[in-house]
Structure 1
Amino acid sequence: MNNDPKNTTCFETSIDVNSDIELNTEIVVDIQSDSSEYFHPDTQDIKCWIELVLASTDNNHYQHVEVSLKVVGEKVGAELNQQYRSKKGPTNILSFPLDPPNNIPFAHLGDLVVCAPVVEAEASTQQKPLPHHWAHMIIHGLLHLLGFDHIDNQEADTMESLEIKILQQLGLPNPYTEISTQP
């Protein structure tokens, strides 16, 4: 694992993260999938995205971070969305933060549940490469785990700005305004 954010590589893109940031965090990602037919990013990409999110949100005090990712189909996605958000049908990502105390350097940030068919359909509709949309969804979910939200316009602007900044560090376009045709 690369713990130096100044020399991080994701999507085969070299990322020059702010040189003032020192991130020495051990990152553990547990991925579970309901089916082998669903695409999901590999653990190394997700660790890279976690590093960038932590560095971009001044959460570089952690020595050890864990995140669980569950990849589900539409049926389970719809059940969870109904149970936890009282909304009908599946959604792209659900975040379940664990809210660790700020003074503890070891944290399980929480769980992310991604409905793979929804993410695939959105990527197709938005004409984005599937791995790029996955990066956006995971980064979006990680920000939720760290307490960011988009309930009101000001919160949404803050969260979207962070997403755009982090995705740009990966060499990816603004997901809210640009259609990506990159491979």
Structure 2
Amino acid sequence: MLTDTIIEDDRWDAAGLAELAERAAQAVLARLPLDHAVEIAVMGCDDARIAVLNADFRGKPQPTNVLSWPLQELGSEEEGEEPYLPEPEDDGDAHHLGDLALAYETCAREAAEQGKTLSDHVTHLLVHGVLHLLGYDHIRDADATLMERLEVEILGNLGLSDPYREIDGPDGS
């Protein structure tokens, strides 16, 4: 398995977080030219727990949907350029890319507000988070464009729609 899922809130078990995490991570890695094993830790928690983590690591004491902690900085210094690929471990073990945490209440609320299923929204957030672990970011405009295009492609490969497409009405017009 590519992902190791830790469930701190039982609602994530019912939502199938472990399966969603594995599927999303596999889809991201299938798109990138990695030729060695990697692993990711994914934690399913609640808003209270993620608010503490967000305060501790980002100085923002409120809940958020997903947090990521890359093990190494892989982003390119050049805006809009592909990040560096992680190197294989010398001992042949899987390379740990980093950790992700998702907050149930925030994810469920956002999915409802956006008219999406929880699984589709969480899959998008997992793809987004795994890309962060691989050095993709959205701070600079060209980096955001690169990351969003890749997200849309990966989600499309999973049969999910473009989460960034603006939909004006029920028929998309």
Deviation at 1:42, TM superposition (A): 4.5
Q: Secondary structure, in 3 states, of the residue corresponding to 1:89?
A: coil
Structure 2 residue aligned with 1:95, among 52, 68, 77?
A: 68
SS at match of 1:138: helix
For the pair 1:119 / 2:79, whether they are aligned, the reply is no
Gaps of 5+ in 1: 1-26
1:81 is aligned, of 38, 54, 59, to 54
Q: What amino acid does structure 1 have at the position aligned with 2:29?
A: L
Cα separation, 1, equivalents of 2:2 and 2:88: 20
Q: Which runs of 5+ in 2 are unaligned?
A: 74-85
Partner of 1:12: none
Question: Pairwise CA RMSD of aligned residues?
Answer: 2.0
Distance change (3 Å), C-alpha of 1:77 and 1:28:
same
Q: Residue 135 and residue 178 in structure 1: after superposition, are their counterparts in 2 closer, same or farther (change >3 A)?
A: farther
Instruction: Report the AA paired with residue 51 of structure 1.
Output: Q
Does residue 61 in structure 1 map to residue 27 in structure 2?
Answer: no
Deviations 1:65-119 (A, max 9, x none): 2111111111111111111111131111000111295143621111101011111
Question: Residue 41 of structure 1 contacts residue 134 of structure 1 at CA under 8 Å; is this kept in 2?
Answer: no
The alignment of Structure 1 onto Structure 2 pairs a total of residues equal to 152
Q: 1:88 to 1:45 in 2, by over 3 A?
A: closer
Task: Report the Cα distance in structure 2 between the residues aligned to 1:56 and 1:120, rounded to whole angstroms.
Answer: 28
2:80 corresponds in structure 1 to none
Residue 57 of structure 1 deviates from its aligned partner by 2.6
Structure with the bigger percentage of helix: 2
State whether residues 49 and 139 of structure 1, in contact with CA within 8 Å, keep that contact through their aligned partners in structure 2.
yes
User: Highest relative contact order (Cα 8 Å, sep 6+), 1 or 2?
Assistant: 2
Q: Which amino acid aligns with 2:87?
A: N
Equivalent residue number for residue 31 of structure 1: 5
TM-score norm. by structure 1 comes to: 0.75
Instruction: Give deviations 1:44-67, integer Å, cap 9, x for gaps.
Output: 443232222112232x211x2211
How far apart in 2 are the matches of 1:155 and 1:107? 24
Do the aligned partners of residues 177 and 119 (structure 1) sit closer, same or farther apart at CA in structure 2, a change above 3 Å counting? same
Say if 2:69 and 2:100, in contact at 8 Å, map to a contact too.
Answer: yes
Contact 1:40 1:71 in 2 (8 A): no
Kept after mapping to 2: 8 A contact 1:29/1:46: yes
